[in-house]
Amino acid sequence: MSLDYYLYLSALLFTIGAAGVLIRRNAIVVFMCIELMLNASNLAFVTFARMNGSIDGQIFAFFTMVVAACEVVVGLAIIVTIYRSRRSASVDDARLLKL
Amino acid sequence: MNLAAIIENQTEIPEAVLFFILSPIMVLSALGMLLVKKAVHSALLLAVIMIGLAIFYIANQASFLGIVQIVVYTGAVMMLFLFILMLVGVDSSDSLEETIRGQRIGAILGSLGVGFLLISLLSRADLGRPYSGLDLVNVEGNVQAIANTLFTRYVWAFEVISALLITAALGAMVLAHRERLLPRKSQRELAAERVRQNVVPVAGLPGPGTYAQHNAVDIPALLPDGTPADLSVSKVIAARGELANPSTFRMNEKKEEGQE
């Protein structure tokens, strides 16, 4: 098996995640799809590190993980705030700038 | 035997077997995540993908990242997602109506296009030299190799990341904080309110009927005028139609005749 297959898998997961962000309405599911995209890019980073024989790709993947964790924390706090004011977690209901 | 060895750009057979078993599971879970209606199911499918990715990291000679993936993603992040799902409502399913006409089909076509573009790009790309693997880098161990690079060349990025983490924690606290508009009610005020409104009986609901021949939760108690008290039995039993009639336990006429 060629190492390229990992990259194909990563591209597939990234695409599915992007489709999910566009199609789904529930803000939490949209968020999970964003996580899927970040993870797919991480797989590509790790594979590139192995192809090149250098550890830098793994360092990038590590930084991506930290940034993704920050993003999840802030994003979920925003979702909870929106849910409190509108009683809905659907991205379609949050279309007004103020209540 | 080095399972992660690369010979002429090809991996060893065990790794190929692992890949071809695990990757269909992951792709199917990802598709399922897109298609299932309930958000909880999406979260569980995402956990499957995360664990699969962790296994692939370890197979790709990134054992540190594999363990971090399990600890951070399947541990912390998925738990956070599930907590928020419980907070927001587990059965908040998606509405299926389209707000923008043709958006769904457009999204599917667009992402198919992106997928084909990425895969065709990857299949044409070439590194220009054989894949080397990380055996030389990982001689002292993967964690040591990462630490050596992280704390020398990337130490500035590492420090900046810590600032980002603190800002994110602070931001989450600010966003989730709620200003209290009215003062919190004390126990005393709650009790006074309950007596004043008298919607719920202050003394509690009456218990079910207790009779000489029969006592169970399915028999209503009798009020002083002899009518059954509906409040004394559970609404669930009444809705199921399993209530016994207290009049069947009434003193029969024979005794009354004897009194005459």
Condensed to tens digits (0 to 9), the pLDDT of residues B7-57 reads 777 888 888 999 999 999 999 999 999 989 888 899 999 999 999 999 999
pLDDT surpasses 60 at B259: no
pLDDT for res A65? 93
Q: Average pLDDT of chain B?
A: 85
CA distance B203 to chain A (A): 35
* B115: nearest CA partner in chain A: A15
Inter-chain CB proximity B150 and A1 less than 8 Å: no
pLDDT tens track for B164-185? 999 999 999 998 888 888 888 8
Q: What percent of chain B has pLDDT over 70?
A: 91
Distance of CA B36 to the CA centre of its chain: 14
Q: Hey, are the CB atoms on A47 and B57 less than 8 Å from each other?
A: no
- Residue A26: strand, helix, or coil: strand
pTM of the model: 0.78
A80 in contact with chain B, both atoms CB, cutoff 8 A = yes
Hey, is the C-beta of A5 within 8 angstroms of any chain B C-beta?
Answer: yes
pLDDT number for residue B158: 93
B246 contacts B228 by C-beta, under 8 angstroms: yes
**In terms of pLDDT, which residue wins out, B201 or B182?**
B182
Give yes or no for B61 touching A (CB within 8 A).
yes
Name the band, by pLDDT with cuts 50, 70 and 90, for residue B91: low
Helix (H, G, I), strand (E, B) or coil at B7: strand
- Yes or no, beta carbons of B53 and A39 under 8 Å apart: yes
Is the pLDDT at A84 greater than 60? The verdict is yes
Q: How far is A86 from chain B (nearest CA, A)?
A: 11
Q: Residue B37 phi/psi, 5° resolution? A: -85, -40
- pLDDT for position B162: 93
**DSSP-derived secondary structure letter, B231:** G
User: Which residues of chain B have a CB within 8 Å of the CB of A29?
Assistant: 33, 39, 42, 94
CA-nearest residue to B23 within chain A is A9
Q: Are the Cβ atoms of A5 and B23 closer than 8 angstroms?
A: yes
Instruction: Give A50→chain B minimum CA distance, Å.
Output: 5
Residue B72 has pLDDT above 60, yes or no: yes
| Alpha-carbon gap, residue B194 to B13, rounded angstroms | 73
Does residue B231 register a pLDDT over 90? no
| Residues of chain A contacting residue B172, judged by C-beta atoms under 8 Å apart | 73-74, 76-77
Please, which pLDDT band fits residue B116 given cuts at 50, 70 and 90? very high
**Structural tokens at position B131:** 């894949």
Q: What is the pLDDT of residue A57?
A: 92
B150/A59 Cβ within 8 A:
yes
Query: Three-state SS for B222?
Result: strand
- Burial of residue B52 (CB within 10 Å: 0-12, 13-18, 19+) is buried
Q: 17-46 in A: which are within 8 Å (CB) of B?
A: 17-20, 22-26, 28-29, 31-33, 35-36, 39, 42-43, 46
* Averaged pLDDT for residues B205-222: 80
Q: What interface predicted TM-score (ipTM) does this complex get?
A: 0.93
pLDDT of residue B56: 94
Give the pLDDT score at B183.
86
The residue of chain A with its CA nearest to that of B87 is A80
Whether the CB of B139 is below 8 Å from some CB of chain A: the reply is: no
- Which B residues in the span 225-254 are in contact with A, Cβ-Cβ below 8 Å? none
**Are the CB atoms for A59 and B150 separated by under 8 Å?**
yes
Burial A17-35 (b: 16+ CB within 10 A, else e): bbbbbbbbbbbbbbbbbbb
Interface test with A, best of B73, B151, B160 (most A CBs within 10 A): B73
